[in-house]
Amino acid sequence: MEQDVPVYANANYFNYGLFFQDDWRALPNLTINLGIRYDIQTTPTDTQRMTMQFVPGKQSTVAPSLPLGILLPGDPGVPAGGVATRYDHVSPRVGLAWQPYPSGHTVIHAAAGIFYGSVGGNLFTYPSNGEPFSGRPTFNNVIHISDPYASDPKDFCGGDATCIAGGVGHSPFPFIYNSKNPQFVVKPAALISIDPNFRWPEIYQINFGFQQQLTSSFAFSGSYVASLSRKLPIEWDINYPTFNLNGAGASGASCTDVTLNCSYANTTSTVNNRRPFNQKTYAGGSAANPILSSISQIQSSEGANYNGLQITAQQRVTHGFSIQGFYVWSKSLQSEDLDTTGNTGNSSNTETEDPRNKRLDRQRSDFDQRHVVAISFVYKPQYGVSSKVVRQIVNGWTITSIIQLQSGNPINITTGSDNNADGVTNDRPNLAPGVMRAHVKDNGHSRTAMMQQWVDYSQFCVANAALNGIPACPQNGAGPANSDGTVRQNALDGPGRRAVAASLFRDFSITDRVKFQLRGEAENVFNLTNLPNPTLTLSSGIPPGPGNPTATGSFGRINGAVSGGTFGNRVLQVGGRILF
C-alpha cells in the first residue's frame, strides 16, 4: 500500500540582469560584436522553509531532535533557500562577421560566449518531497485494508520497538510539518538535501562557419556548433549502501557486530542495513535498526557536451518553387543521466547504476541522434493555358511538403534485476567473453528480421548470476566483486525513422479583406512503416530463434509499429477556414 503526505511547496525568487553590447566595425569588411552580461538570481526560497542540507557529524540547533547530519534553515551555514545566492555571474561574449571578397557573396562568422543557466523553483522545492517535510511511504506488510495501520506494526510504529512488540500499529496521518519538532512519517526515512556547495549551471557556447551565395537565389552554409555545459544539477544518493566483501574478497559479511553495516550479506533486503549513516551510535540508531534510507543530495556536478556540424541549403522562389534543406551530424555526451524532479527511490530512472563508480554512467544523451535531415519545399504552379476557366481551376493552388529522416534514438540495455544489491533494478549487463563492443544485429533490409531480433542477446552476460537463459560472467564486471555491469547506458541505437508530410491549399476571396481557405493535409503521406524501440530488459527472456525455437522471451524483439505523430500511420484530413 502506498499513501502520500499532502504537501504544498511554493518558492519565491527574483532575477536581475544587466547587458551591454557594441558593434565595432574594425574594417570595412569585418564587424566585431562585443558584449557582457551580469546576472543575479536569488536562491529560490520555499515559503515554509522546507529544505535541508545534510552535513555528516553536525547536529541541528533549530531542531535538535533530528538525527545527526540534518540541518535546516536557521542552522549555522544554512540560509533560507538552502544555499547562498551567487553574485559572480559575469558572462562575456564575442562574435565576428568577415567578408573576405569584395563581391560580398562569402561570409565567415564566429562567436563564443559564457552563459549562466537559471535554476527553477521546482529544483529548490524538491526537498519538500522527502522526510521530514512529507513523504511517499510504501507499506508492504498490510494484512487487510479495513484497518491497515493496526495490521502492520512493522511499518506503522515509526520504528518504535515497544509499539512493534505490541503488535498494533497506528496511523501517522494527518501529518503536519513542525519546523521546531520535525517527525518522520516512516522509518527508515528517505531524505532529499541540497549540497552546501551548489552552483548555478555554466554553459560555454561556440560556433563558427561560413555562408556562400552561389546565384541570385541559391545559397548554402555550414557551421560547427558546440555547447559545453558544466555544473548541471544532478542528484546522488550519499547514503548509498556499501557492498561488503568477506576475508576472501568475495561478496559477503566481513564482521559479526549487527550494529555495523559490515555484518550484513549483500542482498536487496539488507539495503538499509548497509547504508553508511546507519552505523552504530550514528543518527540515534544502528545498522540493525536503520533510521535513514536514501539521502539524495542535489549537486551541481554534471557535465554535458554537444558538438555538431550543421549544413543548410536554400533556393528562394524561382518560377513559383522554393526549397530548403537541413542536415545535422552531431554527438551529445553527458556525465550521467539522473532525474532531479522525479520521486526519489520510486523509479530506476532517478538512480545511477553505482554512485561509487560514476564513470560507468558517462553516456550518450537521450536525445543524441547522429543524423537528422529535413527538406521542405513550396510550389505554387501557374499554368499558361488559354482557357480562362481552366486557369481559374488549376492555378492559385499551393503545394507544400516536408521530408524528415532521422537516425535512431539511443537505447539502454538493462538486466531488470538488482545484480549489485543496491535495491534498484536498473543494473546493466556485461559484454560476453570475446565481444569487444555492443552492436545492433545486422539484419540487412529485412523488416521482419529486424522485428524478430533487433539486438542479439548472445553478446551480453550478467554479473554474478545467470538470468532467464543469459549466462553469468562475474569475471568481467566492475565495482566490488564485479557486481556492476560495464555496458554503457544508451550504448545502442533504435530504429531510424522517416516520413513525408504534404499539404494542398488555396485561398478564395470573399471580399477584399475576407478569404476562405480550402486545405487538404497528409501526415506520412506514403504510409511508411516506422519501427519502435525493442524490448530492452534481459529479464524478459530469450526470444525464439535458431537453437532455441521453443523460447518465449521478448528481449531484443520489436512489437508493432510507431503509431501517432509525425512518424505514425498515414493521416488524411480536409478542412476549411476563414481568413480575415
From its phi and psi, is residue 480 left (phi > 0), alpha (psi between -120 and 50) or beta?
A: beta
Q: What is the pLDDT of residue 76?
A: 95
Amino acid code (one letter) for 415 = T
- By three-state DSSP, how is residue 388 classified? helix
> CA of 211: how far to CAs of 45, 108, 110, 148, 326, in Å?
47, 7, 11, 70, 14
Q: What is the pLDDT of residue 377?
A: 97
The list of the chain residues with pLDDT below 70 reads 1-2, 137-139, 144, 146, 151-172, 280-284, 337-351
Tens digits of residue pLDDT in 291-326:
899 999 999 988 999 999 999 999 999 989 999 999
Query: What distance in Å separates the CA atoms of residue 320 and residue 380, rounded to the nearest whole number?
Result: 5
DSSP state of 129: G
Amino acid code (one letter) for 291 = I
CB 473 within 8 A of CB 430: yes
State the CB neighbour count (10 A cutoff) for residue 439.
13
Non-local (6+) Cβ contacts of 276 within 8 A are 239, 240, 242, 261
Amino acid code (one letter) for 489 = Q
172: preceding bond cis by omega (within 30 degrees)? no
Query: What distance in Å separates the CA atoms of residue 180 and residue 135, rounded to the nearest whole number?
Result: 18
321-357 as b/e: b if 16+ CB within 10 A: ebbebebbebebebbbbbebeeebbeeeebbbbbbbe
Q: What is the pLDDT of residue 550?
A: 80
Q: What is the pLDDT of residue 558?
A: 94
DSSP state of 253: -
Strand partners, 227: 205, 306
Q: What is the pTM of this model?
A: 0.86
Query: What distance in Å separates the CA atoms of residue 538 and residue 470, rounded to the nearest whole number?
Result: 8
Non-local (6+) Cβ contacts of 237 within 8 A are 294, 295, 296, 297, 351, 355
Nearest to 255 by CA among 226, 232, 277, 288: 288
Give residue for cell 509499429. 561
Alpha helices in 401-496, H assignment, sequence order: 447-452
Q: What is the pLDDT of residue 535?
A: 92
